[in-house]
A and B are shown apart, each in its own frame.
Chain A
Amino acid sequence: DSGVTQTPKHLITATGQRVTLRCSPRSGDLSVYWYQQSLDQGLQFLIHYYNGEERAKGNILERFSAQQFPDLHSELNLSSLELGDSALYFCASSVPPNPWDDTQYFGPGTRLTVL
């Protein structure tokens, strides 16, 4: 158990809908990273938040957005869902980016199926 929690575990929805994925980082971790794992794109970085502020964006679609709240949990919002958005979404957390302790701890993921 990494200490990172993600809810829900599974999500099945229809095209055009909107969903919210939630991530709670390990206690004390200020950084949250979101990754998408799909069959055709592999594991890709989406977005990084540090202590409530967006730090970096990767291959994140405009239909997707995220935020990190004062209690440090993060939410990834996916809207106008398409079949191709079906994937496993991971969040990972780490202590304040520190060259000497930089391990990213992954949550169990949320499997999103868009029908």
Chain B
Amino acid sequence: AQTVTQSQPEMSVQEAETVTLSCTYDTSESDYYLFWYKQPPSRQMILVIRQEAYKQQNATENRFSVNFQKAAKSFSLKISDSQLGDAAMYFCAYRSLLEIYNQGGKLIFGQGTELSVKP
């Protein structure tokens, strides 16, 4: 079974600085997707960024980028120029491509990292 681990329950960053959130996962599959979701105080789950395992290039979305290390099964999220609105719980998630092909594809989430941004 696949598992996702986020070892940092809480992180803090100064506004305008850069912060990196860590995520490791365990799987025997070679094809999958990895995601970072943001959950602000409103509790809405918002997709931040996704990475396809077959792509070597790291995904980037504006101030958000990932460092995907497939061999190490590591998937960290870097937030540059942190803003007050970035304060939220961040979840790393895994989705099996095989399950998607079989018309499924649940998300497996890590425990989350609570990010606070100091003005």
Which residues of A approach B to under 8 Å, CB–CB? 2, 31, 33, 35, 42-45, 48, 50, 55-56, 58, 88, 90, 92, 94, 96-99, 102-104, 106, 108-109, 111
How far apart are the CA atoms of A35 and B95 in the complex, in Å?
14
A45 neighbours in B (Cβ, 8 Å): 106-108
B47 on interface, CB distance cutoff 8 Å: yes
Q: How far is the CB of A69 from chain B (nearest CB, A)?
A: 19
The residue from A2, A92, A98, A108 contacting B100, defined by CB atoms under 8 A apart: A98
By secondary structure, the A interface counts as strand
Task: Given A97-B104, A108-B43, check contact A42 B109 (CB 8 Å).
Answer: yes
How far apart are the CA atoms of A79 and B112 in the complex, in Å?
29
B117 on interface, CB distance cutoff 8 Å: no
B74 on interface, CB distance cutoff 8 Å: no
Task: Given A43-B91, A102-B95, A106-B45, check contact A97 B103 (CB 8 Å).
Answer: yes
B43 neighbours in A (Cβ, 8 Å): 88, 108-109, 111
Task: Given A43-B91, A88-B43, A90-B45, check contact A99 B106 (CB 8 Å).
Answer: no
B100 touches A102 (CB 8 A): yes
Q: How far is the CB of B50 from chain A (nearest CB, A)?
A: 7
Instruction: Report B30-74 residues with CB < 8 Å from chain A CB.
Output: 33, 37, 42-47, 50
Q: How far is the CB of A34 from chain B (nearest CB, A)?
A: 10
The residue from A56, A103, A109, A111 contacting B106, defined by CB atoms under 8 A apart: A56
Q: How far is the CB of A88 from chain B (nearest CB, A)?
A: 6
How far apart are the CA atoms of A47 and B56 in the complex, in Å?
32
- Taking each of B37, B91, B100, which has the highest tally of chain A beta carbons within 10 Å of its own beta carbon? B100
